[in-house]
Amino acid sequence: MFDLIIKNAKVFDGLGNPPIQADVAISDGVIREIDTINSKANQMVDAKGLSLMPGIVDLHTHFDAQVTWDKTLSPSPALGVTTAVMGNCGFGIAPCPAPLRETMLKNLSVVEGMDLNSLLTGVNWEFESFSQYMDQLRRIRPYINTAVFAGHSVIRTAVMGEDGSQNSQPTSKQLNTMCQLLREAMQAGAIGFASSFSPNHSGYGGVPMPSTIALEEELRALTNVLGDLEKGVFMMATGSRATPDLMESIAADSKRPAYISTVLTMFNEANPSLAKTYYERASQALARGNQLYILTTCQPLSFDFTLLDPYVLLSHSAFDAVKVAQPHQLANIYRDPEFRRVFKGNLANPATGILFLGNWRHIEVGQTTLTEHASIQGLTIEDLAKIRGQDPVDAFFDLALSENLQTHFIGKFFQNQDAGVAPLLKHPASVITLSDAGAHLGYMCDAGFGLHFLAHWVRDTGNFSLSEGIRRLTSEPAQRFRIPKRGKLQVGSPADLLLFDPANVGISKPIPRNDLPGGATRMIREPKGVHGVWVNGVMVHDGANYQTLDHGPGFVIDSFDT
């Protein structure tokens, strides 16, 4: 007697092999048989006409805070994700001495676009050390499998406090303490070490996130810990400082895999060849035996934002005053001709690695509040400026000011042309992930990247076969990050499964939901063509609703392949 048999499915193994028509039997959370099965089971699911694949492995999430109040890790399970890695870019909440909790959450609220009141209200602090945080995850028992990075900015804040965002060079004692905290985190089951040099990563009140001002010597001292322990992966939001040469050097010195995450590796029509150079450099590093890869998004990098919280523009120097302003001061700043003059200068000579490079065709008018503006919804700012006979900068701010800064804008900045993106996705140095799930909740929701990939890049454009597309979402990311057993649909593998209809799979448009602690709004997406998601043999979502479970079936993954 099995716990579950899924009958009559087209079964994809996640390894890229052709599918087979078969039944899949599961007991105790493990796949026991893949064949024509005539045995009985406690539960039978008829999957005729549907495809069965391993659950999606999401390597780039920011669920570190949310998991303490939401064991479902919504919306990822609904969107086919069964394993998620948290703590990317070095931003998380552990380790955190109790006196620094507010500092940690304030910075996290800005750098990852999270509602501060929701964080202050919702985070359940049952830990100070990284090991205690992992213990809390085990008590929470989330719906999906989770792994956690030890984070540079988190560790720097834990050791240096607010000075971590002010002093580029720690004392030798502070650096030794940071290295010791990283060792302790790795011994407690961290998947690796994550950091950021990105200029887009600012903290509360406009202060830089701690890791972004750290010197190279500090970064090397910390990554050397991975080398000394001979385990863990290194993930870096590189910006322009952490060049491919530097990343390869760290991979070579530590003998650990290194992963680049930056908008500089995304297709940008203003500089269409730039991203390719990063992939070529990674390919050369791989040929030299140094494991350097690029975390690659398969969706346009899009943000829904207002000028009350203009996250996507904060890396421009004109917005330095905006970072520290109170909400009632913003309108006067945006009206100021000198502010607009400086911003126009920023756009004429944009810094490297920032989100918005000044192409106003990439920002559209979203939801408006005045009825007379309904007709301009969907127009680009470039088109709006032509209609009004204005400079785009003036048209942009004037529209927002006329609606008390409530106008929604939609920015589509990178990865927005298929012809430019497809070669990046197909490149052997790319790892398809980068959902940012759990972050930037007011602007976007890319947690459904896997379903989008199956819909757009497999079904609609034919850039990948279904077998290969599934491999890129499952076994490959698991193997790259040394996550054992996950991403495979084989006898003996954990029963992390996604049942779907390839003809209809996809995701909805972003949907606002007022369900965060304190009543704040976030954007989510709902699945299309999904008929069931199982984690370790337990259904967590049926394609329409989350299952009500006393505890989640997800494992806290704390042991990894070398």
- Strand-pairing partners, residue 24, are 6, 34
What's the number of domains the chain is made of? 2
Could you tell me the residue range of the domain that residue 227 belongs to? Answer: 54-300+415-541
Q: For residues 295 and 276, state if they share a domain.
A: yes
Q: Each residue of 30-75: pLDDT tens digit?
A: 999 999 999 999 999 999 999 999 999 999 999 999 999 999 999 9
Q: Each residue of 345-387: pLDDT tens digit?
A: 999 998 877 778 898 998 999 889 999 999 999 899 999 999 9
451: pLDDT strictly greater than 90: yes
Instruction: Indicate whether 228 belongs to any domain.
Output: yes
Instruction: Indicate whether 95 belongs to any domain.
Output: yes
- Strand-pairing partners, residue 292, are 258
Question: The tokens of 177 are what?
Answer: 């303490």
Q: For residues 324 and 455, state if they share a domain.
A: no
Q: What CATH number has the domain bearing residue 236? A: 3.20.20.140
Q: What does the alpha-carbon distance between residue 78 and residue 361 come to, in Å, rounded to a whole number?
A: 33
Q: For residues 275 and 139, state if they share a domain.
A: yes
Q: For residues 294 and 431, state if they share a domain.
A: yes
Question: The tokens of 430 are what?
Answer: 């790319």
Say if residues 254 and 179 touch (Cβ distance below 8 Å).
no
Instruction: Indicate whether 172 belongs to any domain.
Output: yes
Angle (CA) 308-303-103 rounded to 5° is 60
Q: For residues 389 and 515, state if they share a domain.
A: no
Burial degree of 139 (CB within 10 A; 0-12, 13-18, 19+): exposed
Domain end position, chosen among 412, 443, 475: 412
Question: The tokens of 356 are what?
Answer: 């918005």
Domain end position, chosen among 376, 393, 412: 412
Instruction: Indicate whether 22 belongs to any domain.
Output: no
Instruction: Indicate whether 502 belongs to any domain.
Output: yes
Q: Each residue of 67-120: pLDDT tens digit?
A: 999 999 999 999 999 999 999 999 999 999 999 999 999 999 999 989 999 999
Q: For residues 200 and 343, state if they share a domain.
A: no
Q: For residues 209 and 259, state if they share a domain.
A: yes
- What does the DSSP 8-state code read for residue 221? H
Say if residues 444 and 312 touch (Cβ distance below 8 Å).
no
The mean pLDDT of the chain is 96
Instruction: Indicate whether 265 belongs to any domain.
Output: yes
Q: Each residue of 263-289: pLDDT tens digit?
A: 899 998 878 899 999 999 999 999 999
Q: For residues 326 and 453, state if they share a domain.
A: no
Q: For residues 454 and 382, state if they share a domain.
A: no
Q: What does the alpha-carbon distance between residue 119 and residue 143 come to, in Å, rounded to a whole number?
A: 20
Secondary structure of residue 107 in the 3-state scheme = helix
Q: What does the alpha-carbon distance between residue 343 and residue 448 come to, in Å, rounded to a whole number?
A: 34
Q: For residues 470 and 357, state if they share a domain.
A: no
Whole-number pLDDT of residue 235: 98
Domain end position, chosen among 357, 382, 412: 412
Q: Each residue of 284-305: pLDDT tens digit?
A: 999 999 999 999 999 988 778 8
pTM confidence score:
0.90
CA distances from 511 to 414, 508, 522 (A): 22, 8, 8
Instruction: Indicate whether 277 belongs to any domain.
Output: yes
Q: For residues 341 and 362, state if they share a domain.
A: yes
Instruction: Indicate whether 535 belongs to any domain.
Output: yes
Angle (CA) 89-281-249 rounded to 5° is 65
Q: For residues 286 and 367, state if they share a domain.
A: no
Strands (E), 12-153: 20-27, 30-35, 41-46, 51-54, 56-58, 81-86, 145-151
Nearest to 303 by CA among 56, 532, 510, 24: 510
Number of H helices, E strands in the chain: 17, 23
